[in-house]
Structure 1
Amino acid sequence: MTETVDVDEELLSIGAFAARSRLSAKALRLYDRLGLLAPARVDADTGYRYYRADQVERARLVALLRQLDMPLARIAEVVDAGDGAAQARRLDAYWAGVEARHASRRTLAGYLRGRLSGRSLEMYGKFTVETVDVPEQVVITESRHILADELPAWIGASLGRLEEGARACGGVTGSPFVVYHSEVSVESDGPAEACVPVADAAAARAWAAERGRARGTTVRVEPAMRLARTRIAKAQVAHPQILAAFEAVEEWMRERGLTYAGPCREIYFADWDAAGPEDLVCDVAFPVTVAEAEPGVTAG
């Protein structure tokens, strides 16, 4: 929206303003359309844009933020935040996310180097793989299509909601787990299914019916199965370290000719908040055909 200006106020043409603000006329037109930097006046007859001299600082701020590869929507949040301190806080929040993503990519690049050179197990530790039998369970669940960057927060929140709901279903009777019905990555969104075993099937069905379809909540019977699994420490649950654990189990299965009998899963058997980085907290597991399973050995 074009601003109201005093008719006696000196205005700069778009060319003069572009030169002073170090932005191109093309960029200024784009930022006008996006509401980032509206001209002070637009000539009704010619369509020429005019800017006030005191808009230069905002224009330069936009230009500098663009050099950080900040998305235009985030730039709008910064420049409209109010005073300089509020703008700085918005910038800090954005940059913290950039650094976190960069650190994650650096770790992934290191993992990939180890994987391509055949050293991933050496880099991320040896994994003891074994088979275990799991009885039939009634589980209450939440399912969601989700990308990898949202996954850790969603796992914690969804399992928390389900454990709270389990109080109305006779209580929790086993370790919470997450089933990956399809790959979850930066490009593939699963779905993933958070599951909590409960004692009372009838109460679980009533609980799920009361919640309706909120958050993809369901109740189902998880059949008895045999799992090929490896136990990992809290520090190894982070991406991409956990990928090495999944690969170790799959390699162990390939060596023994075992058949996949269902989607892979993560089983959280320990108190996550109380655990230290080296404490075992999670099973990385694949259901396997019962007739072919063998005793556990060390992979890698």
Structure 2
Amino acid sequence: MTSYLSIGVFSRATHMSVKTLRHYHEIALLEPAEVDPGTGYRRYSAEQIPTAQVVRRFRDLGMPLEEIRSVLAAGNIEDRTRRISAHLSRLEAELGRTRRAVAELRDLLTPPASGAAAGIQLRGIPAVQAAAVSATVGVEEVGAWFQGALGELFATVASQGLRETGVAGGVYADELFTLHRGRATVFLPCDGPVRAVGRVEPLLVPAAEVAVIEHCGPPSQVDRAYGALAAHVSRHALAVDGPMREYYLVNQRQTPDSTQWRTEVCWPVFRTAAAGAGAAAAG
């Protein structure tokens, strides 16, 4: 004769609340071994305790109920292990994102060093002939689009026997920042007119007067450079309407380590004689 445990005893044995056990019964995740047809009392068997403990461990790891159901229903150990490993990989990736976010938040809470804006320069950038890829993109897709466009530019310029005459750059419309969707152009200066192929087209990047700050690190942290540059321009320069520019001094082409990447962020301004001549153009 099978010996059953009441829901209260099973709750204490598994460290699951009675409310949770009732919910798992309702969604058919962990059903009682028997339900009294007269009273509706739920009864569990001792053999169900290990399963309940596994479910609780998975929930502690944040696994969705549907994924737990699929693990429990797995037809073999290999399938079960694959599903659990996939969830653990997602947890590790999420932990990495959390650690980066915590580090960035701590950095934001650290007061900037005195004279931190000393690296900001005013600069005149001459017009330059380049190969370019342009598209209207959303903020959430711009990273992947950028890497693909940059790779296409390097490959096209090399295949046409052209020489790179400067570092790659980008021009980004205001709408990309204000509406999270707008026109983006990535370009690579070269010593001759590129023949249009695929997404690549020739472009004369116009001259511009800009305030420049250098950002060291991955693109996910470039907002600090934008903030520092905006504050500086609001106090010391005459800002003008126009797209933002970036120049990628060190990027994925040189090293996969994003902490070593260096990007110049350029804010359009109207220079005056008092502002000085600034430094040489990027590239």
Q: Same fold (TM over 0.5)?
A: yes
Which residue of the other structure, out of 92, 101, 104, is the alignment partner of 1:105?
101
Which residue of the other structure, out of 230, 241, 244, is the alignment partner of 2:224?
244
Q: Give the Cα separation in 2 of the matches to 1:29 and 1:191.
A: 50
What is the correspondence of 1:143-292 to structure 2 with a 5 Å cutoff?
143-147=136-140, 155-157=146-148, 159-160=150-151, 163-164=154-155, 175-177=168-170, 179=172, 181-183=175-177, 193=184, 195-197=186-188, 203-204=196-197, 207-208=198-199, 224-226=206-208, 227-233=210-216, 236-237=217-218, 239-240=220-221, 242-275=222-255, 281-289=262-270
SS of alignment partner, residue 269 of structure 1 = strand
Residue ranges of structure 2 left out of the alignment (5+ in a row): none
Q: Give the Cα separation in 1 of the matches to 2:46 and 2:180.
A: 48
- TM-score, length basis structure 1: 0.60
| Per-residue deviation, residues 200-230 of structure 1 (Å, max 9, x unmatched) | 67725xx34xxxxxxxxx9796751413222
Which residue of the other structure, out of 129, 140, 161, is the alignment partner of 2:121?
129
Q: CA-atom RMSD, angstroms?
A: 4.9
Q: Give the Cα separation in 1 of the matches to 2:34 and 2:92.
A: 39
Instruction: Tell me how far 1:12 sits from its aligned partner.
Output: 5.9
Whether the aligned pair in 1 keeps the contact of 2:133 and 2:149 (CA below 8 Å) is no
- The count of residues paired between Structure 1 and Structure 2 equals 265
Q: Give the Cα separation in 1 of the matches to 2:148 and 2:49.
A: 45
Whether the aligned pair in 2 keeps the contact of 1:141 and 1:162 (CA below 8 Å) is no
Match in the other structure for 2:49: 56
Q: Give the Cα separation in 1 of the matches to 2:2 and 2:268.
A: 75
Match in the other structure for 1:24: 17
Query: CA 1:231–1:159 in structure 2 vs 1: closer, same or farther (change >3 Å)?
Result: same
Aligned residue identity for 1:159: L
**Larger C-alpha radius of gyration, 1 or 2?**
2
- TM-score, length basis structure 2: 0.63
Whether the aligned pair in 2 keeps the contact of 1:11 and 1:50 (CA below 8 Å) is yes
Whether the aligned pair in 1 keeps the contact of 2:195 and 2:201 (CA below 8 Å) is no
Match in the other structure for 2:31: 39
